[in-house]
Amino acid sequence: MSEIIVKIENLVKRYKELIAVDHFSLEIQKGEIFGLLGPNGSGKTTTINCLLSLLSYDKGHIEIFGQEMRPDSYDIKNKIGIVMQNVAVFEELNVYENIDYFCGLYIRDKALRRQYVDEAIEFSGLAEYIKFRPKKLSGGLLRRLNIACGIAHKPELIILDEPTVAVDPQSRNKILEGITELNKNGATVIYTSHYMEEVERICTRIAIMDNGKNLALGTAEELKSMIKNSETIKIHIPVLDDEHLEAIKRLSHVYQCSYSDGVLITAFDGGKHNLIHILDYLKNNEIAFGQVYSELPTLNDVFLEITGKELRD
């Protein structure tokens, strides 16, 4: 059943000395929302641009819909919708005309195009703004226009490059809901972002990227299970002796433990009832404590453990 829509093999892209994409490989199946997660400058946009043959690359092989992707593969391009990181709309045209123009690059039939444009306006919630020039739109609305221009022609494969950068949480929610809806209607989606919450929320599978390399690949659960950390517990403790700290470190499944500024942070690599064990120890030794948090691992932890640095700067 799993049809491969996108196949990237050993992609290498250099900008002079800099290796922007480094032996990157990937397969994306039909119906997925595939997340490409990586910090700024990790090579997400470069990968997408190579995928679309906008950039030439030094090495590698790219197939889309089972065909080799080349700059003149217009039959493939016809089935792709692209939402670029840099908003690409005409300042000289209003919202409606912009969507109509980009849709018209794919859909020649006038009546069908009108229907599609109307649907895209409805979908992106821009109905009130169709006569507005892009300059008059807020950042969030502009991003939505950018998305509407990319998806109006109902493509089979939709590529969104950081569509939510500089967008307020409300607009962001709408955008994410929209993407899920497009996917439900049958589109395969590639979604790049450096916001792990977004990727975790909507993506069926995720690749973690840094320095142009594909570091890890899988569902959010799979990625988290790949790392040692299963749970992090933070407890506010006004006073804690070194003797007790050492004892806590010796509790089962604890692999990391630190105490500073009145907060004890303990990381566990699996095991059950970790919170109960640690709280029991504190009570038995009559150590006073305040607020307690238990955190399940995030993709940030995954990233931290693989690269040794935080995903967010």
Partner 1 sequence: MQVYRTFFKMLMRNIASGLLYLGIFIIISLTVAKNSESNDFTTFNNAILDISVIDRDNSTLSKALYDYLDDCQNIISIDSDEKKWADELFYRTVDYILVIEEGFEEHVRDENYDNLLTSYSAPDSNTSYIAQSQTESFVQNVCLYLEAGYDYEQAALKAGEISQITADVQISNGSGTDAEVSSVSYFFTFLPYVLICMLINSLGATLMAWNRPEIKARTAVSGTGLTARNAGIIAAMTVYSLVIVGIFIIVCIFSYRKDFFSESTIYYGINGLCYMFVCIAITFLVAQLSKRVSALSMWSNVIGLSTSFLCGVFVTRQLLPDKVVAFSKCLPTYWYINVTEELKYFSGTLSREAWISMGVQLLFAAAIFAVSLVIIKNRQQKNA
Ligand X SMILES: Nc1ncnc2c1ncn2[C@@H]1O[C@H](COP(=O)(O)OP(=O)(O)OP(=O)(O)O)[C@@H](O)[C@H]1O
Tell me which residues touch Mg ion (CB under 5 A). Answer: 44-45, 85
Q: DSSP for 130-192?
A: TT--GGGS-HHHHHHHHHHHHHTT--SEEEEESTTTT--HHHHHHHHHHHHHHHHTT-EEEEE
Contacting positions for partner 1 (CB under 8 A):
49, 52-56, 71-72, 74-75, 77-78, 80, 82, 84, 86-93, 97, 101-102, 104-106, 108, 149, 153
Q: What is the DSSP letter of 83?
A: E
Residues 129-188 that bind ligand X (CB under 6 A): 162
Give whichever of 50 and 248 is closer to ligand X, judged by the CB atom: 50
Give whichever of 47 and 49 is closer to partner 1, judged by the CB atom: 49
Give whichever of 128 and 310 is closer to ligand X, judged by the CB atom: 310
Task: For residue 18, state whether it binds ligand X (rule: CB under 6 A).
Answer: yes
Give whichever of 21 and 52 is closer to partner 1, judged by the CB atom: 52
How many whole angstroms separate alpha carbon 139 and alpha carbon 121?
17
Q: Which does 139 bind (CB under 5 to 8 A by kind): ligand X, Mg ion, partner 1, none?
A: none
Q: What are the structure tokens assigned to 286, written together?
A: 């009559």
Residues 76-105 that bind ligand X (CB under 6 A): 85
Q: Which does 210 bind (CB under 5 to 8 A by kind): Mg ion, ligand X, partner 1, none?
A: none
Give whichever of 54 and 296 is closer to partner 1, judged by the CB atom: 54
CB 128, min distance to partner 1, A: 23
Q: What are phi and psi of 39, to 5 degrees?
A: -70, 175
Give whichever of 46 and 53 is closer to Mg ion, judged by the CB atom: 46
Q: Which pairs from 106-115 meet CB under 8 Å and 24+ separation?
A: 106/78, 106/153, 106/155, 107/153
In the complex, residue closest to Mg ion by CB = 45
How many whole angstroms separate alpha carbon 53 and alpha carbon 62?
9
Q: Which does 92 bind (CB under 5 to 8 A by kind): ligand X, partner 1, Mg ion, none?
A: partner 1
> Which H, E and C letters describe 233-285, residue by residue?
EEEECCCCCHHHHHHHHCCCCEEEEEEECCEEEEEECCCCCHHHHHHHHHHHC
Stretch that binds ligand X, among 34-42, 95-103, 263-271, 302-310 (CB under 6 A): 34-42
Q: Which helix (DSSP H) or strand (DSSP E) does residue 216 occupy?
A: strand 213-218
Beta-ladder partners of 161: 192
Task: For residue 194, state whether it binds ligand X (rule: CB under 6 A).
Answer: yes
Contacting residues toward ligand X, per CB under 6 A: 15, 18, 20, 38, 40-46, 85, 162, 194
